[in-house]
Amino acid sequence: MATGDEMIKVVGDRYCVPYTMELVVKKKLQSFSNSHYDVFDTTGNILLRVDCSVWNLQRRRVVTDPAGFPVVTLREKQPISWKQEWQIHEGGNSDSNNILFSVKKSSGFHIKSNLDVYLGSRCKKGTGDFRVTGSIASLSIKVRRGISVIAEVSHSYTWESYKGKESFKIKVYPEVDYAFIVALLVITHENENV
């Protein structure tokens, strides 16, 4: 569970709630060149969207609110690289001065590729501020801060998965930024689908 009473806000405190939040994420391949993720709460209200251009070599993903305003931009630092480093920027801007956090693959050649998450622009070797463990292929990932699990994601393969429609369930623990967790899910999924 989340660590103590401390709020974990990375994208913004408006994405933190005082209770465990269950989210459903649906990814749909719209065409050979486009896909998107829709994030819903348990009552079916859309909370976030992520638009992806499949054949975009820059690997840039924009997370928007329901009105279409950019929340964060996910950008792979060096596209077409085994390092799989991402920089996450506030809003729709990819300016290097406004990096909220960076994500780096922990090791290059393991089946379960953990991700280290570094707040701000620092992206060094070693353990980050957060760690994503597991994989989409294993049907489950966990986001940890130290030894505490702050969010869990489960993925269920169905016949629809083979047609480009995938579904994820996210459990975000109290006072944890759910936009941050959604961004980590998208990065994990995009890394595994290179």
With CA atoms as reference, report the closest residue to 184 among 109, 114, 82, 97: 114
pLDDT per position as a tens digit, 59-90: 788 999 999 999 999 988 765 555 678 899 99
Give the pLDDT confidence of 11-54 residue by residue, as tens digits: 999 999 999 999 999 988 765 556 789 999 999 999 999 987 65
Does pLDDT of 138 surpass 70? no
| Lowest mean per-residue pLDDT among 72-76, 85-89, 162-166, 179-183 | 162-166
Specify which residues 62 forms β-bridges with.
51, 73
Q: What angle do CA 151, 117, 101 make, to 5 degrees?
A: 105
pLDDT averaged over the chain? 82
Sketch out the chain's domains with CATH numbers: 19-193 (2.40.160.200)
pLDDT above 90: residue 162? no
Of the candidates 56, 49, 63, 64, the residue with the CA atom closest to the CA atom of residue 33:
56
Instruction: Report how far residue 154's alpha carbon sits from residue 172's, in angstroms, rounded to the nearest whole number.
Output: 12
Look up tokens 């980050």; give the residue: 128
Q: SS3 for 60?
A: strand
